[in-house]
Amino acid sequence: MASSLGRLGFSALLLALAAGCNQAIASEPAAKAKEQADKPAASVAPQDSGAHGGTGEAKYAVPFAWESSPDDPLAVARSFMGEVLRDNKSHAALGVKVFAEYRDVQKPRATVVTCSDSRVHTSAIDETPENDVFMIKNIGNQLENAQGSVEYGVEHLNTPVLFVIGHTGCGAVKAAMEGELSKLSKPVRSELEHLKLPELTEKDENAAWAEAVVANVRNQVAHAVEHFGGRVQQGKLTVVGAVYDFRNDLGQGAGKITIVDVNGNDEPERMKAFVTAISSPGPNQRSATRAKRRGEPSMEAGAAGPSGPSGPSAGEKAWSPNDLAKALADLEARQTKPKPKPKH
């Protein structure tokens, strides 16, 4: 009996303490609550701030409680993350069948190395990049800074294309041009140390910048051809270098991709012939999926494209890099063949 009373007494004490705590919390001055509401979500102040503003030991409050203006970092973060969830909801609505196609294995056709610049994304080159593009991004679209990832795409995923994409207005290339890296942090400097440029010929600043962007892409292609030379020689890999020009610095139209190097070849006539050769669509295993995602009819394998007959007809295997090289050589031969003189 005494034991039961003791337990009841202890329970009553706990209830009293809880009620007291709730009452104490509820009695906080309204002015103090308003003062806190007017401030952005505060973090626990670290004892000793390092180079990047934190010690790595402090614990921070969960943000998004308040923002002082639409441009406040917390407001921008809230907006971005909200859009992430809404956009992902639309993406997930594509349905199980879409994701089932690549649920267990990836089979990309291209390893793509491009710049981390926020203006450069797969939407510029591929409307349905899922399971088609093995994407690698870093400042200055450099291979040496991502050699492991590049080798994984080329040698383990066996992509027949290694696509290096630079872009006009590249800040990494600009930094390499100016050569003044001392103000940058050590990690950034270490990523830029491999970005070497030849002596530029253009005098105009923007023209020189565009020239440097093209030169950097060609340097990356040269590195790739040297590193994966065996695959290139065997026809298992085609290394393509291009510039995404959203500024129209190359004069071909804003937003266009301009191919500037293929397997170490950069002569304009050869690039023109290469573009002509690849512009006639051949069998595309992804054509039905791409058309379905866009709500468009798909082009049957072997059908004539806008530039004339396609590659192998329906039922035949798709073009290999060797087939493409032969088509390119044939096209070049036709273009360089002397035209017959008109009869008088």
Q: Residues, the chain, total?
A: 344
pLDDT tens for each residue of 67-105:
677 788 888 888 898 999 999 999 999 999 999 999 999
pLDDT reported for residue 284 = 54
Bridge pairing between strands 256-262 and 238-245: antiparallel
Cα(33)–Cα(24) distance, integer angstroms: 14
Instruction: Concatenate the DSSP letters of all residues of 213-274 into one string.
Output: HHHHHHHHHHHHHHHTHHHHHTTS-EEEEEEEETT-TTSS-TTEEEEEEETTB--HHHHHHH
Residue whose C-alpha is closest to residue 163's, from 67, 237, 97, 235: 237
Query: C-alpha 167: how far from its chain's center?
Result: 12
pLDDT band at 61 (very low <50, low <70, confident <90, very high): low
pLDDT reported for residue 205 = 92
Mean pLDDT highest for which of 82-86, 292-296, 319-323, 326-330? 82-86
Kindly provide the b/e burial profile for residues 30-64, where b requires at least 16 CB atoms within 10 angstroms of the residue's own CB: eeeeeeeeeebeeeeeeeeeeeeeeeeeeeeeebe
pLDDT band at 36 (very low <50, low <70, confident <90, very high): very low
pLDDT band at 139 (very low <50, low <70, confident <90, very high): very high
pLDDT reported for residue 342 = 54
CB 297 within 8 A of CB 291: yes
Residue 307 has pLDDT above 60, yes or no: no
- Give 152's Cβ-side CA count (13 Å radius): 10
Residue 149 has pLDDT above 60, yes or no: yes
Cα(228)–Cα(337) distance, integer angstroms: 33
pLDDT tens for each residue of 227-245:
999 999 999 999 999 999 9
Q: What is the DSSP code (8-state) at residue 308?
A: B
Q: What structural domains does the chain harbor?
A: 105-265 (3.40.1050.10), 267-336 (no CATH)
pLDDT band at 162 (very low <50, low <70, confident <90, very high): very high
Q: What is the pTM of this model?
A: 0.70
Cα(28)–Cα(31) distance, integer angstroms: 9
Both tokens of 37, joined, read 């509401």
Mean pLDDT of 259-278: 93
Instruction: Concatenate the DSSP letters of all residues of 44-107 into one string.
Output: PPPSS--TTS--S------S-S--SSTTSHHHHHHHHHHHHHHHHHHHHTT-HHHHHTTSS---
- Average pLDDT taken over every residue of the chain: 78
Residue 145 has pLDDT above 70, yes or no: yes
Residue 123 has pLDDT above 50, yes or no: yes
